[in-house]
Structure 1
């Protein structure tokens, strides 16, 4: 909301289904579980993403996948490569997306291309001080008001298959870790409910301290806690697993799980 208000852009409509046969482009994801509810009824014509491919299609489609810090970087590149006119508000939204995804270049997903694109975008969007803008954005992102425990867990939440079982991983990137840690008991209880309801093997909620590049992880059970602690040498502090420099689900957490379960076969 902060970013939309900053650039005076209306909030887009949130939809969960589209008419059967509608053509769609998947952006920043390519897994069915992370997409629109009736994706099997839709015609996927293109994928734009910076994650590895998991989706299979029944026909050739256009796919733009690049190992960049943000899908916004891929879109920005396309604007510049095709010399398409880039409005100030769209340039600002793309800049905000790159800065958010890369934690203002703190994340290990960051590339030199992301940094170069932000330099170009800041001129068009007329953001002179990107660091100041990023801090305002992260502070706004950390101000979650009266959000419920489930809403907090599902704010940035994905389900992955590891070793034939499904695990949920939610992430909260914040400048105020106490907001999440102070709700520890409530969050863990809700995580256990979600785990049971959705038939998951485990659920993790990772609270990322953006400025200090640290994370605090809550787990839905003892087995998951032991596994996470082993994979990331995380220190258990009264039910919270602390890990230094662990800030990226995509680049650090998911690959570690995949590698672990690959070795278990």
Structure 2
């Protein structure tokens, strides 16, 4: 189910030259998120014109919409290790600008005077984001992104380290863009075994024709899921 907000967003994304399948996928992800959180789209994402410009800047952002910084690096990590990765890359001078609709961290590093950053992640219930931000603001924490029920905050380490937070010789930009933890891989493996167990049980208690239909559907779904996963991983690592 779409809303006037997402209808307008779709039109602007198409007008910016974004491929139709990417527009549809983005709208589906955002619609699912809003349905789960119960949030108002405009309150959650901001005015549709500015949000569309952030998702697909096209030939250039409007006068009041900041474009991507030079040296932007986009990366992702799973929920088990993303805080450790944020700490690591914050110490390397990477400042998170936002979290995009696919859950990736859009970050940049000041080429002239890089400094260390620190991050924290809060689990926030729908409608409590402003209250959480207000609670952390006195300590210098600034919201830098939202993904599902997670809210991410940043602050320069100069607040606690002083001049030592400066980074005279920052490391090179990592070659990888996807960082998956061992715990995440174990979780996926256990989930796959659970799905296989359910499928095996269904096969045992179903009749012959149902078994064939189920098996064909399961294999087709597995192949499609594998192709999409590989395509997404390839795209993230380009």
Taking structure 2 as the reference length, the TM-score comes to 0.27
Structure showing greater radius of gyration is 2
Relative contact order, CA 8 A, sep 6+: which one is greater? 2
Structure with the higher fraction of residues in strand conformation: 1
